Structure 1
């Protein structure tokens, strides 16, 4: 690969590409075929995504601006320039967000006789209801902080990360007082359903309940006018941890988590109706740079709208779907006895996570089971997985659990679970300081006829029953000796805090994945040069690793056909002469989160199919423990290929990723019927069981 080829290779900046992904989430909120309450929830997902983006990615770029010239040489772009571009895109997206909420969704809710009303729209009876609720539920959690204008040198109160605050201005004649008031969304519901009236439904937000009752908070002051506008600060959430202190790692992490809430301001989202003098006061007192200011709408922390109550018809939400059974895998029988005969694939969320729970519960009580090894990354709030592992330990099984406490934004929860596991007799391993363990693997050792037999579960998604209801993932049960021998060796390495090479079946990072994938790609390049049909179909959440992209460009130039399904950021640019003429990329955003990682290589007609925990991002390939595993059962291989083909044929929810990043939907050919991958996958799996 020549230096010229590398230097001219088309690449889109990963942060900008991510913003185009979040634009696709916003498209779902605009799609009038999506049920109305679900559209509101897509606005919430968009908002939550953007919060995390600022806390992590923008925070990282801000750190790099201090060494902008050196960073530009190393990264190939100017952090300052990208930050400016990010702000321009985000401001446009926030305006679209506001338009969708204020001028589309609110009006359509009204057509359904559902009204989100504010403090100025309360009549006497509803006003009295709100005041009663305020006294009983809200007032005890409110603590206004008065800001003294006469002593500007007094430190300004520390705004907590992602909390909503009112900046309150009281004016009496020419005298001005300011106050800061946190909206207690952690302890009080964001939404209050008001009494019906003439079959009309009314909902008011906690923000507006407080606005309505501000006089009850500031009654001791004289004022002619009182104004209150919301602000929300997003802070740098990256953790600075001394990786050299292993025995004190938990303590170090806990202290870093406390500091996270006081990280450097990345974005101040403010009500665009806020008067300039109030904005200026806030900026001056908080010593903020104008670059962090983002005008928003009346309501911040919109992620709370994920829990918006549906007080209307059930048609306003996606219809509930029954979980499908896996053909010939009976929850009423021993999972071990069934998996001993053949491999099984669970396709979530269409099929039930209960199969995985059943596997762990059976392991916990089966007298023949000697040992359970498992890696955990993100867990549900009331985790049945944790309960099963603790029960196994109490039943005398040796249970070894590697729990990744560095899982971003789940650190506190995972520290809590690690303590619970240790209290329950489970051997807890925290992995390695410099690497996250992101694999999703479980190995159960069971005595059969005097010898140990090994049962494995390997997955593309977490052992998390909550996300398993909304994430599209695959989970494989197998007793294949080659795979289980590889997993035994892998777990042995993790116990001794070291990585091994030379696995026969599985592909692991950080030591082997890059070169193993290169070999698989080279194999297709060789076939293409021989004149044989050569192709790859690759599905992942994100594609940003530059070396992997260059390798795909190389394969393209050799004549390999490449089809990509990338949900999130995609730094590869399709359709570019000399680089990507034979590469097509689509992204599917729909009811469920597409999360599975699937690799299909043509291999001269004898397709190689892998499932993986890893995206093609540098961190996954070089700085994490990831596991990719082959599908060796032909019937399962066909099932995965069928599901991928269904996705490639989506002409309803698939967007084309191209050089302009305009997120246009795949064009439906004249006379072609509607194809919607998630809907069609459900019925494909349902029909398989009939």
Structure 2
């Protein structure tokens, strides 16, 4: 059969269709109303990051020659135009959903979001007093002058672009900018309740209401203010050598990030054309970077929208379940020594990981702790446990990845804190991010070093552990322990080892080992043995890996994929991917786990990993995958995966037309994976 050219969805376009699925959650009337507002916030925050990271890369590629475009496989300029078309349409749906859907449904709940034009005298007096007490001193308007440079607008900050007009139209209008102080004040102000009616006003509208108090020294006949938000290129250009000099370079680069090249200007669609033209002339923006929006920007703040109504307007918060037979009231090491344990977050508690680290910190037999840290909580109990271990005389080796995007500043802080307390801190590796989620505790038992390991698909972060669906295992398997010890030794020496028997480690081995596992399924299929592949991940974008999956599909291997975010693979194409199905689950928790299942002739091989199937995860990061060797844990993970494959409530199909159609399995029975998994784990406690 002639070789068929691989067909792919562009990764940036695929990502936008993922964000469309987030918008679908905001539109789903079965989702509690306050949660729908939060999905709007997530959509907005996602889009901000998209314009800070992905669009700048395309912009830099847009001037390459035709030969380079052929090698790239697409025309960046065309993709940028397609992005704008999709984003403008999504923003329109977003605005319509908020203004004609969410607002009206809040009103049915006797909750009213009002603006400055809807204030009666009493509320007006209340807000005028609030403005003068809390707001006025924080506002510093910048008067714009043709003879002076246009001020630098901060990345993602909201500004009012203000016009002061005079009666005599021959006189020029005066323009001004005011930054809305969202970092220091709450975005939403709850007004005094009236007749059991709740009223909320945005900080933006309080400022609009009190513009006269800001510009009282100027002569004008009318004053108007329109929201604008500039999104800048947030990619860092760094000297990649990891040293003390690197810390200084990174710190300076974080400051430069605030002044990166403008990528997108989101503006109030009601702004007069003369004002918009003024801004365009002053800012270095192309037409593709102009995105019309509503009067409110920076919707990511709506993640903290207050629920002043019924408890049912939010998701019920299920209490984390205990892990069967793993007792937090006893030594966790003594229990792990007997068998492996699986923690399914957020259905089960992150406290097990904290307990593991705390016990390591005080156990007299523990001599050493090695750990990699990528993203940490603001008040990290993980850090506290590691510091306590160092104070108790343990050798604590901590690799903090300083290049974790948008967590750089936070990680510099924790690095300094750890060093101050006597922890041995490594900054990472040249040219590679350390994205693995591994911890190894060395314990001396009868004069011999015994290894206790924690390996996970998600970060050592107690905050995200309540929001992200991940898996973590505890094991004393000495083969895995020995290989982790070797891996940590390599990280310390800044070299890569290969030839692991149990672990699947990037950048040297993951790609080829996964290729081998896929090839085994093709061989099993040819020999008539049970053959299938089930993969779950956040993103699938690596072209060569997709090619291998297409090859397996053509050989008759059934492949089921669960991909939350971008998916460049196109399923269901004859002579390429007819045996591949892809779903994406977007629900109240962020699906973050990476799980690989291979049929292996009827004796399934199951792996967990920190790696997505993106080129960076396979070739340019330190990632760790690990086999599930305990039969009971393997069965539990397979059960959970099959529950997810049955989802017909929150799962969408990924297909060639990118319609995000809801995945329907059994029309007679409702399956919602995140609810069903909690029920499954709860029932296991009773068995």
Q: Which TM-score band applies after superposition, normalised by the shorter structure?
A: over 0.9
Q: Deviations over 1:553-579 (max 9, x none)?
A: 000111110000000011000000111
Superposed, which structure 2 residues align to 1:95-106 within 5 Å?
A: 95-106=92-103
The equivalent of 1:130 in structure 2 is 127
- With 64-73 and 250-259 compared, the bigger mean Cα shift is at 64-73
Structure 1-normalised TM-score? 0.98
Superposed, which structure 2 residues align to 1:648-659 within 5 Å?
A: 648-659=645-656
Distance between the aligned counterparts of 2:665 and 2:496, measured in 1? Answer: 48
Distance between the aligned counterparts of 1:244 and 1:487, measured in 2? Answer: 25
Is the Cα contact below 8 Å between 2:438 and 2:456 reproduced in 1? yes
Structure 2 unmatched runs, 5+:
none
Distance between the aligned counterparts of 2:251 and 2:49, measured in 1? Answer: 20
DSSP 3-state at the match of 1:587: strand
Q: Does 1:580 align with 2:574?
A: no
Q: Does 1:589 align with 2:583?
A: no
The equivalent of 1:382 in structure 2 is 379
Q: Deviations over 1:434-492 (max 9, x none)?
A: 00000000000011112111100000000000000010000000000110011000000
Is the Cα contact below 8 Å between 2:345 and 2:465 reproduced in 1? yes
Find 1:614's aligned residue among 611, 616, 629: 611
Find 2:154's aligned residue among 149, 160, 175: 160
Find 2:509's aligned residue among 509, 512, 532: 512
Is the Cα contact below 8 Å between 1:377 and 1:404 reproduced in 2? yes
Distance between the aligned counterparts of 1:68 and 1:310, measured in 2? Answer: 53
Find 2:165's aligned residue among 139, 147, 171: 171
DSSP 3-state at the match of 2:308: coil
Is the Cα contact below 8 Å between 1:71 and 1:77 reproduced in 2? no
List structure 1 runs of 4+ shifted beyond 6 angstroms. Answer: none
DSSP 3-state at the match of 1:230: strand
The equivalent of 2:110 in structure 1 is 113
Q: CA deviation at 1:645?
A: 0.5
DSSP 3-state at the match of 1:584: strand
Is the Cα contact below 8 Å between 1:146 and 1:179 reproduced in 2? yes
Q: CA deviation at 1:430?
A: 1.0
Q: Does 1:216 align with 2:233?
A: no
Is the Cα contact below 8 Å between 2:647 and 2:665 reproduced in 1? no
The equivalent of 1:280 in structure 2 is 277
Distance between the aligned counterparts of 2:90 and 2:64, measured in 1? Answer: 29
Distance between the aligned counterparts of 1:467 and 1:100, measured in 2? Answer: 28
Q: Does 1:10 align with 2:7?
A: yes
Find 1:192's aligned residue among 189, 192, 195: 189
The equivalent of 1:246 in structure 2 is 243
Distance between the aligned counterparts of 1:481 and 1:27, measured in 2? Answer: 46
Is the Cα contact below 8 Å between 2:525 and 2:531 reproduced in 1? yes
Is the Cα contact below 8 Å between 2:468 and 2:592 reproduced in 1? yes
Is the Cα contact below 8 Å between 1:668 and 1:674 reproduced in 2? no
Find 1:677's aligned residue among 661, 673, 677: 673
Distance between the aligned counterparts of 2:65 and 2:96, measured in 1? Answer: 36
Q: Does 1:67 align with 2:88?
A: no
Distance between the aligned counterparts of 1:430 and 1:333, measured in 2? Answer: 35
DSSP 3-state at the match of 1:181: strand
- With 528-537 and 23-32 compared, the bigger mean Cα shift is at 528-537
Q: Deviations over 1:409-431 (max 9, x none)?
A: 00000001000000011000012
Is the Cα contact below 8 Å between 2:443 and 2:450 reproduced in 1? yes
Structure 1 unmatched runs, 5+:
none
The alignment yields a C-alpha RMSD, in angstroms, of: 1.0
Is the Cα contact below 8 Å between 1:564 and 1:586 reproduced in 2? yes
DSSP 3-state at the match of 1:401: strand
Distance between the aligned counterparts of 2:292 and 2:180, measured in 1? Answer: 19
Q: Deviations over 1:374-429 (max 9, x none)?
A: 00000001000011101110111100000001000000000010000000110000
The equivalent of 1:413 in structure 2 is 410
Distance between the aligned counterparts of 1:507 and 1:99, measured in 2? Answer: 47
Q: Does 1:23 align with 2:20?
A: yes
Q: Does 1:604 align with 2:606?
A: no
The equivalent of 1:332 in structure 2 is 329
Q: CA deviation at 1:67?
A: 1.7
Q: Deviations over 1:483-507 (max 9, x none)?
A: 0011000000000001100111000
Q: Deviations over 1:140-186 (max 9, x none)?
A: 1110000014x2xx210000000000000001122310001100001
DSSP 3-state at the match of 1:49: helix
DSSP 3-state at the match of 1:100: helix
Q: CA deviation at 1:245?
A: 6.5
Distance between the aligned counterparts of 1:300 and 1:639, measured in 2? Answer: 44
DSSP 3-state at the match of 2:319: coil
The equivalent of 1:558 in structure 2 is 555
Distance between the aligned counterparts of 1:605 and 1:532, measured in 2? Answer: 7
Q: Deviations over 1:116-148 (max 9, x none)?
A: 111111111111111111111111111000001
Q: Does 1:228 align with 2:222?
A: no
Distance between the aligned counterparts of 1:427 and 1:132, measured in 2? Answer: 53
Q: Cα gap change, 1:226/1:72 in structure 2, threshold over 3 Å: closer, same or farther?
A: same
Q: CA deviation at 1:667?
A: 2.2
Q: CA deviation at 1:68?
A: 4.7
Q: Does 1:92 align with 2:86?
A: no
Q: Deviations over 1:208-229 (max 9, x none)?
A: 0110111000000011000000
Is the Cα contact below 8 Å between 1:246 and 1:433 reproduced in 2? no
Q: Deviations over 1:293-313 (max 9, x none)?
A: 000111111000000000000
Find 2:365's aligned residue among 364, 368, 374: 368
Q: Deviations over 1:97-116 (max 9, x none)?
A: 00100000000000000001
The equivalent of 1:523 in structure 2 is 520
The equivalent of 1:639 in structure 2 is 636
Distance between the aligned counterparts of 1:221 and 1:81, measured in 2? Answer: 47
The equivalent of 2:295 in structure 1 is 298
